[in-house]
Structure 1
Amino acid sequence: MPAGDQKRRRILNSTPLLPQNRHNLDDSAFPSESGFSGSSFSGAVFNLSTTIVGAGIMALPATVKQLGMIPGLIVILLVGILTESSVDMILRFSRASKSNSYAGLVGDAFGGAGRSLLQLGIVVNNVGLLVVYMIIIGDVLSGTWSEGEHHLGLMQEWLGHQWWTTRSVLLLLTSLFVFSPLISFKRVDSLRYTSALSVGLAVIFVVITAGVTIIKIINGSIATPRLHPNLVDRTSFLKLFTTVPVLVTAYICHHNVHPIDNELKDPTQMKSIVKTSIILCSSVYIATGFFGFLLFGDHTQDDVLANFDGDLGIPYSSLINDVVRISYCLHLMLVFPIIFFSLRLNLDGLLFPYAIPIAFDNRRFFLVTALLMSFVFLGANFVPSIWDAFQFTGATATVSVGFIFPAAVALRDTHGIATKKDRQVSWVMIILAVSSSIMAIFSDINTFFISNKLTGT
């Protein structure tokens, strides 16, 4: 074997999940990287912000409806602050352990079992997110049922009820002609332009929602919003905790921190990139929760896009509805590949821990990609609603990936760099994550049995 090939194979075998940080290698090790000088600050901000602002934004008005306006907005802000703290922990402890992946960091602290458990958590979380994205896309294009009412999709409004406007056919066409090209990229920086566009589309959604709300405030057609939760019995109290998994899911981005960091032109910028992204996304989230709940009140759906299919009470209501739904549907289509990127990496690392990186094995890249895409497609056709998906993934895998693992790494402190503040914040994150998840799961079980009693099943 030529000396260059031997050198490349030794390097690849030393990094089973992700390629080494590009700053630690020479160009001869990765000839395919020649001409790539590293991703920029703005490109990294857009990629990380796109990772954060996904389907979770659509459930935030319903979250504020559950908690009330004041507690809802406060909790959105607090979860953003905790998210920044947990990502900062990941970065600092990764630098200390010289880990180039989240799984590598956890493996350094807890060994192979911890590494595999984290990878499994990321796989479950990301699959759940992508299923939610496809559900929302299906709702927008083909319509959905909510509380006994059918909300028409765009294709059904424009073309009527045809076989090609059914949910499964539209999702299949989207998977083949939109997702397939986008998930074929092997470097996360290749998605920087689609990420920038997706963030812009999310901002457009917020601006339109705010504009409609302000117009209705001026003409006096909006009622005063409920400022506090409506607690009438034990069930209504327990339902407050079901909002926590949704909020954690809305901010989850930890699985893409290392892929973005590894491709940076200047790795010292990563902390500023995280802070900028969290501030940007928190602002979008607070605005969405505020104006979405103010606009629709107690009629706010679990997926607020479902509210944009009727008369908004202002001129050009139908046109505005279509623009909102189209823009956010396109946003989710552009978010999909960046979440899929880390999903593929972590599933490959879980199944083939000692193989060369998947980017250098075209056959494995294709097989893993096809398997995951098929599974997500099937999930989107059988999971009933985004709230159900959020509750399952958010109360289990998401809180683990976002809070429990970073806190556990800090408490383990194998390199002796944890501060007193790190330990305090870590315990707060673990207690909040575990307690809220238990309560959310208990609330879901309680609601399930109550609904069964009411229906007589």
Structure 2
Amino acid sequence: MSPAAGARVPLLPGNKPVRRATVSGAVFNVSTSIIGAGIMSIPATLKVLGVIPAFLLIVIIAFLTDVSVEFLMRFTHSGESITYAGVMRESFGQVGSVATQICVMITNLGCLIMYQIIIGDVLSGNGSSGTGHSGVLQEWFGIQWWNSRDIAILFTLVFIFLPLVLLRRVESLKYSSAIAVLLAVVFVGISSAMAIYAIFEGKTSNPKLIPSLDKQTSFFDLFTAVPVIVTAFTFHFNVHPIGFELGKPSDMISAVRISLVLCAAIYFSIGLFGYLLFGDAIMSDILVNFDKSSDSAMGALLNDVVRLSYALHLMLVFPLLNFSLRVNLDELLFPKKPLLATDTRRFVILTLGLLVFSYLAAIAFPNIWYIFQFLGSTSAVCLAFIFPGAIVLRDVHGISTRRDKIMATIMVFLAVVTSAIAISTNIYNFFGNKS
């Protein structure tokens, strides 16, 4: 039996047949994979780009994401591999496989650490930041030993993360993913309602429809918004785990397209209403804006609901990113071993090891948001566009059409150029601010 055929056998040991995943379950899992921490930076990109360019950028990147996933699925089912790293190995050898695994691990591990940092900020605050930030639990119950940052994150890890990451099939996460999508909609809905109320109260400023270039914002600063949107749409590390549990490749394409439309609508909604609500005072993390004290009890309650709904959303996104991280780490460390889900001892050791490491990192380095944003943007661009485009251009199976190669060339060129400009601008701004 070929490896590709082996992908279609049950993931769990034993001879009992495993029921195929459903398209609706895949939609929830793909949507949850897409909507992570990136949504919180979307409003800030509208401040930089203006409403119209930001909308066009979201649409363009969503379209290119659909194209890149279709490329990945087609080349996967034309070869013998069952993972993203395996497809890259077929095209570029061991170097391509390791590069993919490293990018997945940088992106996903960075996100898992960031999620715990954000959850800790929401529940218990971050007194070391010097911003006077306090968490929801501390606002409600005062400062107690049990609502300290370390304990709050540990409680989340043991009682929420652990039961979910021990599930061995992605399809098993469809219900938690459905709740995660609902929580994201709640987050957007409350933000939208607050913005509309502020409009009627005359408390909003007119948003910029196009970017305004001045001494503080240069033309090159506009490119720094691109990696933020790219990162927000990057879920390619979960294409294979989700796709191979479906009945046929066309089901995955359908699930991805539905998810992209849903997520693009959610992104633009939170971007527009968040920008309307806070104007040019919008922060790179919109939750910081909601953390400010409100002038009414209802406003304070809505602020807490927004923060908690998104913290709960991240808790339910965590197992999906952990799933692909664990698979890629196992493939890198134990390439000759049988399927991970069939080896309970290896599965549990890797699962617990990743949980402990990410927890210790989140506790030890509570202010690493921008470092991982930088690493996540570079690795996310590779996973989303550069690697799929390179696979099509390499065309080891001889299935690329002329249109495919044109699209792949455009995709790789845009990704490399915009990413290089964004990285250079960020480095220049960082050292410029230091001086």
Q: Tell me the distance in 1 between the aligned counterparts of 2:339 and 2:95.
A: 20
How far residue 215 of structure 1 moved from its aligned partner, in angstroms, is: 1.2
Q: 1:198 aligns with which of 180, 183, 189?
A: 180
Aligned to 2:307: 325
How far residue 304 of structure 1 moved from its aligned partner, in angstroms, is: 0.7
Q: TM-score, normalised by structure 1?
A: 0.89
Q: Tell me the distance in 2 between the aligned counterparts of 1:207 and 1:74.
A: 22
Q: Tell me the distance in 2 between the aligned counterparts of 1:363 and 1:19.
A: 25
**Paired amino acid for 2:6:** Q
Q: 2:83 aligns with which of 97, 101, 105?
A: 101
Aligned to 1:41: 23
Aligned in 2, Cα 1:227/1:277: closer, same or farther, shift over 3 Å?
Answer: same
Q: Does 1:249 align with 2:249?
A: no
Aligned to 1:140: 122
- Contact 1:97 1:105 (8 Å CA) reproduced: yes
Q: Does 1:162 align with 2:144?
A: yes
**Paired amino acid for 1:293:** Y
How far residue 440 of structure 1 moved from its aligned partner, in angstroms, is: 2.0
Aligned to 1:309: 291
- Contact 2:230 2:381 (8 Å CA) reproduced: yes
Q: Tell me the distance in 1 between the aligned counterparts of 2:56 and 2:390.
A: 26
Q: 1:386 aligns with which of 349, 357, 369?
A: 369
Aligned to 1:8: none
- Contact 1:344 1:369 (8 Å CA) reproduced: yes
Aligned in 2, Cα 1:317/1:235: closer, same or farther, shift over 3 Å?
Answer: closer
How far residue 378 of structure 1 moved from its aligned partner, in angstroms, is: 2.9
Aligned in 2, Cα 1:299/1:69: closer, same or farther, shift over 3 Å?
Answer: same
Aligned to 2:6: 20
Aligned to 1:448: 430
- Contact 1:179 1:333 (8 Å CA) reproduced: yes
- Deviation track 1:279-313 (CA, whole Å, cap 9, x = no partner) reads 11111111111111111111111111121123556
What is the DSSP-based 3-state SS (H/G/I as helix, E as strand, rest coil) of the residue aligned with 1:316? Answer: helix
Q: Tell me the distance in 2 between the aligned counterparts of 1:277 and 1:414.
A: 30
Alignment of 1:153-302 (within 5 A): 153-233=135-215, 236-302=218-284
Aligned in 2, Cα 1:19/1:212: closer, same or farther, shift over 3 Å?
Answer: farther
Aligned to 2:112: 130
- Deviation track 1:252-275 (CA, whole Å, cap 9, x = no partner) reads 111111111111134431211111
What is the DSSP-based 3-state SS (H/G/I as helix, E as strand, rest coil) of the residue aligned with 2:133? Answer: strand
What is the DSSP-based 3-state SS (H/G/I as helix, E as strand, rest coil) of the residue aligned with 2:143? Answer: coil
How far residue 33 of structure 1 moved from its aligned partner, in angstroms, is: 6.2
Q: Tell me the distance in 2 between the aligned counterparts of 1:43 and 1:312.
A: 38
- Contact 1:252 1:402 (8 Å CA) reproduced: yes
Which structure 1 residue ranges, 5 or more long, are not aligned? 1-10
**Deviation larger for 43-52 or 145-154:** 145-154
- Contact 1:302 1:387 (8 Å CA) reproduced: no
What is the DSSP-based 3-state SS (H/G/I as helix, E as strand, rest coil) of the residue aligned with 1:364? Answer: helix
Query: Cα RMSD between the aligned structures?
Result: 2.2
- Contact 1:235 1:446 (8 Å CA) reproduced: no
**Paired amino acid for 1:107:** R
Q: Tell me the distance in 2 between the aligned counterparts of 1:267 and 1:34.
A: 23
How far residue 184 of structure 1 moved from its aligned partner, in angstroms, is: 0.6
**Paired amino acid for 1:213:** A
Aligned in 2, Cα 1:19/1:59: closer, same or farther, shift over 3 Å?
Answer: farther
**Paired amino acid for 2:318:** F
How far residue 129 of structure 1 moved from its aligned partner, in angstroms, is: 1.5
- Deviation track 1:161-213 (CA, whole Å, cap 9, x = no partner) reads 23333322321221122111111111111101001110111011111111111
- Contact 1:20 1:262 (8 Å CA) reproduced: no
Aligned in 2, Cα 1:37/1:183: closer, same or farther, shift over 3 Å?
Answer: same
How far residue 54 of structure 1 moved from its aligned partner, in angstroms, is: 1.0
Aligned in 2, Cα 1:61/1:388: closer, same or farther, shift over 3 Å?
Answer: farther
Aligned in 2, Cα 1:307/1:385: closer, same or farther, shift over 3 Å?
Answer: farther
Aligned in 2, Cα 1:347/1:318: closer, same or farther, shift over 3 Å?
Answer: same
- Contact 2:30 2:256 (8 Å CA) reproduced: yes
Aligned in 2, Cα 1:234/1:217: closer, same or farther, shift over 3 Å?
Answer: closer
**Deviation larger for 164-173 or 252-261:** 164-173
How far residue 314 of structure 1 moved from its aligned partner, in angstroms, is: 6.7
Aligned to 2:92: 110
Q: Tell me the distance in 2 between the aligned counterparts of 1:84 and 1:312.
A: 41
What is the DSSP-based 3-state SS (H/G/I as helix, E as strand, rest coil) of the residue aligned with 2:307? Answer: helix
How far residue 36 of structure 1 moved from its aligned partner, in angstroms, is: 2.3
Aligned in 2, Cα 1:139/1:239: closer, same or farther, shift over 3 Å?
Answer: farther
Q: 1:80 aligns with which of 40, 58, 62?
A: 62
What is the DSSP-based 3-state SS (H/G/I as helix, E as strand, rest coil) of the residue aligned with 2:20? Answer: coil
- Deviation track 1:365-399 (CA, whole Å, cap 9, x = no partner) reads 122122222222233231515344222221x2111
- Contact 1:407 1:429 (8 Å CA) reproduced: yes
Which structure 2 residue ranges, 5 or more long, are not aligned? none
**Paired amino acid for 1:447:** N
Aligned in 2, Cα 1:426/1:45: closer, same or farther, shift over 3 Å?
Answer: same
Aligned to 1:364: 346
Alignment of 1:345-364 (within 5 A): 345-364=327-346
Q: Tell me the distance in 2 between the aligned counterparts of 1:271 and 1:229.
A: 34
Alignment of 1:390-405 (within 5 A): 390-394=373-377, 396-405=378-387
Q: Tell me the distance in 2 between the aligned counterparts of 1:291 and 1:146.
A: 30
Q: Does 1:337 align with 2:319?
A: yes
What is the DSSP-based 3-state SS (H/G/I as helix, E as strand, rest coil) of the residue aligned with 1:38? Answer: coil
How far residue 30 of structure 1 moved from its aligned partner, in angstroms, is: 6.1
Q: Tell me the distance in 1 between the aligned counterparts of 2:325 and 2:222.
A: 30
- Contact 1:46 1:196 (8 Å CA) reproduced: yes
Q: Tell me the distance in 1 between the aligned counterparts of 2:294 and 2:128.
A: 18
What is the DSSP-based 3-state SS (H/G/I as helix, E as strand, rest coil) of the residue aligned with 1:150? Answer: coil
Aligned in 2, Cα 1:436/1:74: closer, same or farther, shift over 3 Å?
Answer: same
Aligned to 1:90: 72
**Paired amino acid for 2:150:** S
Q: TM-score, normalised by structure 2?
A: 0.94
Aligned to 2:413: 431
